[in-house]
Amino acid sequence: MADPGSQPLLLQAAERAEAGDFAQAAELSQQLLSRNEADVDALFLLGRSLAMLDRNDEAIEALEKAAKAQPDDIEVFNLLGHLLYHSSRHEESKDAFSRCLELNPDHLEAMRQMANLTLGSNQANALHLFKRAHALAPDHGDLLFDYAWAMTYSAGDTDMGANLFRRWFEFGSGTADRGSIALQALNYASNQNPETLARLHREWAARHANPLGQAAGFRDPDLRTDRPIRVGLLSADFCRHPVGRFALVLCHHIDRSRFELFVYANKEEEDELKASFESLATWRSIFDRKDDAVVGRIADDRIDILLDLSGHTKGNRLGVLARRPAPVQASVFAYPNTTGMAALDYRISDPHSDPPGQTERLWAEQLERMPHTPWLYLPPMEINAPPGPPPSTTGEPFTFGCLNNPVKTSHACVRLWTRILKRLPDARIILQQLNAGHGQRLRDLFAEAGAQPGQIDIRPKGSVTYFLELHNEIDLMLDPFPYNGGVTTGDAFWMGVPVLCLEGDAYVSRQGLLQNKCLGLEAFIARDKSEFVEKAVQISNNPSLLKQLRENLRRMLERSPLMDFDGYAREFGGMLQRWWNKRCAEEN
């Protein structure tokens, strides 16, 4: 305990800390400790001050001494737990928060952080802690966000996650990055309508992005149309990722006598695709560089058109785009929704995903429609062997499947797919799980909807080769909704498996329709849920159709607009030229 004679110095130290002078507070705390090295108040104040000065190791040392001297001081353990967590000393952090909960089982921060720390190792207990903490403090912003994230990406309950994220948005707080995470999560939920989601995107932009674009970051553009156009591509995914596959094909096939390409890569790790990009474009690594520095780099490169291939996905640099480093900016492919931002001039789409006159209200950007498809499919490098026969033609039960990101298996999917399984009691469905807890929840949801346990075959996620070979066990893919498959649907076609889709009312829900139309497979598009069930049953009773598609789908895909690389590049180049001509005409 503090010496009564030390109280004035302790008070002075606390006042300096409250005033934000943590260096002086730390010095005064050290003076107190020179008199009594076990002074818990001084140790705590020293630990807090050192933490604010980013001297975490020293702060942890002080707090560990305080915890030893006063093992019942809950705030010492709470702060110690946070610092250990941010120092990646997670087991020690759990010990500290566990002690907090021993002292006070209702300590909100301890419950929240313990839930975060144990979500991967003890999901059931972590979700229990989140639920209990949320019941005690339903308006706690950080808790709401963490609970929503856990329900979406660990438990896979996207509807519950959406409820929590929407509540989090009501507070109008949080960082731009957290807002992007929440917006992306809302795309997966089956209890989310497109109009509300469009409004939330615009509100995010009004708060975090649009105010940054009051002054354009580009410098005296060369507004001539008779020269090569300098095009920048911005993303964190120029690697073995669907975005990287698309971007590489585009860079390879676009007319490089007309377009000078620059790749702005926002990822620390690089793979073998970097060399391919470097042979086609100027590579710029922007990982860990501040927005203003990246804006300066793009301005120095004198980029005319900047293409965003991230949207609100992980690793985005929307803060860069908001500052308008290029005279023309557009969004393409990676994110299936609007950015909400005033700084993005165009969104590249197509007549199938965004029928003219029907979806413009959902976009902050002006829609620019490619004739057939807004993106290209590049087959995987891992497997080129022809697919095997449909399993139902070799004595196996008729097998449905969905091998998309497991988060896309919404509650609405489970209810609709169960209607099919009840009509076909000998059929089964193969799905992938996020983790064991999510897999069990899926089984429970199917059981509640009326499916038999033996019909549900849930697999862990594996390598790319494992994923591709798994298609040989499936007769018919079911496209998830409201967040349809994208490149994964192309992978199914490549492996000879047709995909039955439900026509949706927004871009995110119309990617199955787009791809089936590109292959001329309108019979695999259902207008409503009842037709979806009937088509699934009819297809299951048509083995000759499935055999024919197994043998021909790959060739159909290769001949489709999805793999017309040269044709797409010509159309894409023409679109870029039109944009640039228009921009030049506005200034001349």
Cis peptide before 327 (omega within 30 of 0): no
Average pLDDT rounded to a whole number, residues 453-477: 96
Q: Which of 45-59, 148-162, 505-519 has the lowest mean pLDDT?
A: 45-59
The pLDDT value given to residue 38: 85
The span from the CA of 261 to the CA of 282, in Å, is 6
- Environment class of residue 170 by beta-carbon count within 10 Å: exposed (0-12), middle (13-18) or buried (19+)? exposed
Q: What percent of the chain has pLDDT over 70?
A: 98
- The number of CA neighbours under 13 Å toward the Cβ of 426 is 8
Residue 190 structure tokens? 């089956």
The pLDDT value given to residue 3: 58
The pLDDT value given to residue 10: 84
Residue 545 structure tokens? 């159709």
Q: How far is CA 263 from CA 301, 410, 478, 573, in A?
A: 11, 35, 35, 17
The span from the CA of 375 to the CA of 335, in Å, is 12
Helix (H) or strand (E) holding 329: strand 328-331
Strands 282-285 and 428-433: unpaired
* DSSP secondary structure of 359-398: SGGG-SSEEEE-SS-SS-----SS--SPP---GGGGTSPP
The pLDDT value given to residue 383: 73
Number of helices (H), then strands (E), belonging to the chain: the values are: 24, 13
Q: Which domains does the chain have, with CATH numbers?
A: 212-369 (3.40.50.11380), 391-563 (3.40.50.2000)
Residue 139 structure tokens? 């308006």
Between 350 and 216, the more confident residue is 350
Average confidence score pLDDT of the chain? 95
Q: Which of 3-7, 31-35, 452-456, 497-501 has the lowest mean pLDDT?
A: 3-7
The span from the CA of 19 to the CA of 362, in Å, is 47
Evaluate whether 382 touches 495 at the Cβ level (below 8 Å): no
Report angle CA 176, 404, 369 to the nearest 5 degrees: 65
- Environment class of residue 364 by beta-carbon count within 10 Å: exposed (0-12), middle (13-18) or buried (19+)? buried
Ramachandran bin of 54, using left for φ above 0, alpha for ψ from -120 to 50, beta for the remaining angles: left
Sign of the CA dihedral with 404 first, then 406, 409, and 414 last? positive
The pLDDT value given to residue 573: 98
Q: What is the pLDDT of residues 348-357, one digit of tens each?
A: 999 999 999 9
At residue 387, does pLDDT exceed 80? yes
Average pLDDT rounded to a whole number, residues 305-319: 97
Report angle CA 456, 498, 495 to the nearest 5 degrees: 90
Q: What percent of the chain has pLDDT over 90?
A: 88
The pLDDT value given to residue 442: 97
Q: What is the pLDDT of residues 144-162, one digit of tens each?
A: 999 999 999 999 999 999 9
Evaluate whether 485 touches 514 at the Cβ level (below 8 Å): no
pTM of the model: 0.93
At residue 216, does pLDDT exceed 80? no
Q: What is the pLDDT of residues 538-572, one digit of tens each?
A: 999 999 999 999 999 999 999 999 999 999 999 99
